[in-house]
Every structure is written in structure tokens, then in C-alpha cells.
Structure 1
């Protein structure tokens, strides 16, 4: 079952940052699609919550040098 999670980060400032985050998240087992919305600071992730948790998503963003936190919208 696919879960839609929105993360928020105000730290990325360039297209390269966006690419790093999307590549890392999309490489995780259980992530169907991850898309960074540069202008709003949102990271939209469609994932299987049984395979990858929100904490693992946040940790993956941290692994490429950025801070993210879950957001209600």
C-alpha cells in the first residue's frame, strides 16, 4: 500500500541539491517516487510504509547533507 509523505526543508538552494535528494530517496527500497518542490521547500514521497519509514526518509535526506522533517502539508 502506497503512503504519501510530505517532508519539509528550507536548506536546499540549487538544482544540484534537488537532484541529490531525489536520487537518494528514489534509490531506497520501497520508494515509488520522490519529488522535490524547490520553490515551496517540500519533498513529496510516495512509498510503501511497510518497507521504508518516515524516519528512514528523513535519515536519507540527512545522508546527503540536508535536514528535513515531516510536514502536514
Structure 2
């Protein structure tokens, strides 16, 4: 299991959080209970199974719903 912190462009509305959350939860290999979208910090924190998916898959899911990813940091759990 790996932990990721994904920095997004500034989030402008609380409904953004829900869209991002739903997009990331839809990615196979994401640990559902670990997902946190931090509105004020414009960050997503999530644990994922690196054998099932890559950080790029999570970034793409976020970008596909219209939220550009600035950078991601991944570390082992």
C-alpha cells in the first residue's frame, strides 16, 4: 500500500470536493476509507495498492472531471 498526496489547483467550491471524491473512489485499487479531499489546502490524500494501479491513474481520474493536478508525492505506507 502506498500513500499519495496530490496537489491540485485551488478548489473554488465545496461541490468540487464531491466530484473529486467520486472520481477517485471509482478507481480500482484505491483504499476507500483513506480518501480525504482537503478543500482549503486543495489537496487529495489517499492510500492505494501500487500493484493494481499507478499514481497516474488517480491523477487522470481527477483531471478527467476537470481539476488539473499540479504535483503528486507518493511514499510507502
TM-score by length of 1: 0.87
Segments ≥4 residues shifted beyond 6 Å: none
- Contact kept in structure 1, 2:11 and 2:40, CA below 8 Å: no
Match of 1:61 in 2: 62
- Contact kept in structure 2, 1:11 and 1:66, CA below 8 Å: no
Choose between structure 1 and 2 for higher RCO, CA contacts under 8 A separated by at least 6 residues: 2
Offset, 1:71: 3.6
Match of 2:72 in 1: 70
Superposed CA RMSD: 1.4
Unpaired segments ≥5 residues, structure 1: none
Unpaired segments ≥5 residues, structure 2: none
